[in-house]
Structure formats: structure tokens, C-alpha cells
Amino acid sequence: MSFGGHVQDMLNRAKQNRSLLPSKKAKFKEGQADRTQGLKRGGPALRFKKVDQEKLAALKEGIQQKKQRHRRLEYIFLSLLSIATLGLLGYWLLF
């Protein structure tokens, strides 16, 4: 069983597709410019909310407290999990 015909077909297709590459490159670059420079080309302007410094400080403080609470719960959970794992491992080794 020879596979020479399949290889020859693969080489012919690769040769034919090489001629398509320059046109694909131009189309790709045009599409990239649209995606990366969409806002520069007259797209809708971004509007950010205006927040005074006191509210901003309160928001930051709230986010930090939530992060600390979450971190503390993670530590407690991992500690309990490691203690349980070590206990099961010790039980398994003793019996």
C-alpha cells in the first residue's frame, strides 16, 4: 500500500494555497486595525463614572475588608483540610 498519491496531493494543495497568502495577509491586517483602533476611528467614547474622593476611599476600604475576610476563610479551610488529611494519613499508617 503506497501513500505517494496522498503526499503528492498534499504538496499540490500547499503550492496552490501559497498564492492565497498575500491576499489573506492584507485582509487580516485590515481586520486587526479595526479591532485595535476602533475607538480612534470615531467609535463611541467611553464614559467613566465620576466619584468624589470620600466615596472612592470608602469603596477601596470595603474591597480590602472583603479581600481580608476571604483570605482568612481560605486559611481556615486549608488548615482544617490539612489537619483532616494528616489525621487520615496517621490513622491509615497506624492500622
pLDDT at residue number 70: 97
Give pLDDT tens digits along the chain (95 positions): 577 788 888 999 988 888 776 666 666 666 666 565 555 556 667 788 899 999 999 999 999 999 999 999 999 999 999 999 999 999 999 98
- Alpha-carbon torsion, ordered 78, 80, 84, 86, to 10 deg: 60
Per-domain residue ranges for the chain? Answer: 1-38, 51-95
pTM (predicted TM-score):
0.45
pLDDT at residue number 24: 63
Residues contacting 51, CB < 8 A, separation 6+ = 59
